[in-house]
Amino acid sequence: MNQFEDFLKRFLLQVIGILRPVRKTLPRELPINRFKRILIVRQHDQLGDLLISTPTIRAVRKRYPNAYIAVVVREYTAPMVWDNPHVDEIIVFHEKLQKWNLSVLRSFLGQLRKDGGFDIAIMLNTVSRSFSSDLIALAAKSKYIIGPNHLKLVPDLPEKIYNILSPRTQKLQLEIEHNLDIVKTFGVPPDGYDYDLTLDDEEITEAAKIHYNLKISSGMTIGVHFGTLDVTRRFPLVKLAKVIDWIKSHDEYEVVLIVGPNEIKLHQELLRMIKSKVLSAPVMSLRVSAAFIKRMDLFICNDTGTLHIASAMQVPTVSFHSLNDPAVWKPPHERHIAVRAEDKKITSITVEQAIEAVKIQIERIKSAPL
């Protein structure tokens, strides 16, 4: 944080403290049976983080079946909650400044403040805290704002925004559980760890057409997504190519490369390294890509959003991890295998480690009951 940003944040927090003095509320003091309008804010994180939050959204819906539940998300991640049966309204926060104008701002604030705003804002901040998220909760006229107690906007200033603090456990646990802990604070029990990602018939049909046009054989189909913008989380292409060639040495396996919109050049590099014949899906929208991944028997990818999409589609995965501990970030189900080197460097994962994980998954799939 540079000096100007630090000064501005401190100044705004002081103003907020004067205009809206925080009165800390203990969880037992909350009127939990009177919450009719609930705001869930998860707009400053990535696609995978939002999918990880969907079990929490579902748990809130189950506890408050008649409440009006709105979710604030980034424009890029919003498709992950389209058609979510547990969400009444999606409020999109544009991350790009040029997309904001007076009309957009008026509409955004109108969504936050209609019907008098919200009874409670749930801040699903587990790793980092966003000042913009906090301002959104304030703009929504939220009487109660709940967030974890381990994140401060300015370390040496008292809490100015959250009036309910959720204790952060020190034990190692899934990121899903950290999200659920926040709502457990006011009596919301968990409702499983499965992600919610609901696709419509048109998206499923479009994915089926792409699958058909690729002329994929009737054997086992293994999808491979090779990209991520963060190179420290990208399994080296030269090693991935060797894993793919090993898979293709078995005639009964088909490999389909999944290409993101920013991965055209990377895709070409990988193709030059692969010695065998593989198929490549065209660039697809996020939701059509999810429907396409659902048609795979196994999915291989880095520790990125597509891993969580595959989990939402209940497709077994092999994923490559670096600094992010898979014990926290990997989808929790047994159908997922995480590969990580002892030194936590993505480049240290060996071809042999990757192939061994793929072998295990293939055997599981073959032995699974029909």
258 DSSP assignment = E
Per-residue pLDDT, 370: 63
Kindly report the backbone phi and psi dihedral angles of residue 88, in degrees, each rounded to the nearest multiple of 5, phi listed first: -90, -30
Q: Where are the alpha helices (DSSP H) in the chain?
A: 3-19, 47-63, 102-113, 131-139, 175-184, 201-213, 237-248, 264-273, 286-293, 305-312, 326-329, 351-367
- Domain ranges in the chain are 17-184, 201-367
pLDDT in tens, 167-185: 999 899 999 999 999 999 9
- What is the C-alpha separation between 266 and 264, in angstroms, rounded? 5
All residues at 6 or more sequence positions from 291 whose CB lies less than 8 Å from its CB, including other chains? 199, 203, 204, 206, 207, 208, 313
The model carries a pTM of: 0.94
Q: How confident is the model at residue 157 (pLDDT cuts 50, 70, 90)?
A: confident
Residue 177 DSSP SS3? helix
pLDDT-above-90 percentage for the chain: 81
CB 265 within 8 A of CB 194: no
- Kindly state the tokens that stand for 235: 């399994």
pLDDT in tens, 312-357: 999 999 999 999 999 999 998 889 999 999 999 999 999 999 999 9
- Kindly state the tokens that stand for 86: 């547990």
- What is the C-alpha separation between 218 and 222, in angstroms, rounded? 12
CA atoms within 13 A on the CB side of 144: 23
Q: Which of 242, 226, 197 is nearest to 319 (CA)?
A: 226
- Kindly state the tokens that stand for 327: 């014990």
CB 67 within 8 A of CB 37: yes
Q: How confident is the model at residue 87 (pLDDT cuts 50, 70, 90)?
A: very high
Report, as an integer, the average pLDDT of 268-272.
97
- What is the C-alpha separation between 158 and 12, in angstroms, rounded? 13
CB 94 within 8 A of CB 100: yes
For 201-367, CATH gives 3.40.50.2000
CATH for the 17-184 domain, from 3.40.50.2000, 3.30.70.360, 3.40.50.1100, 3.40.640.10: 3.40.50.2000
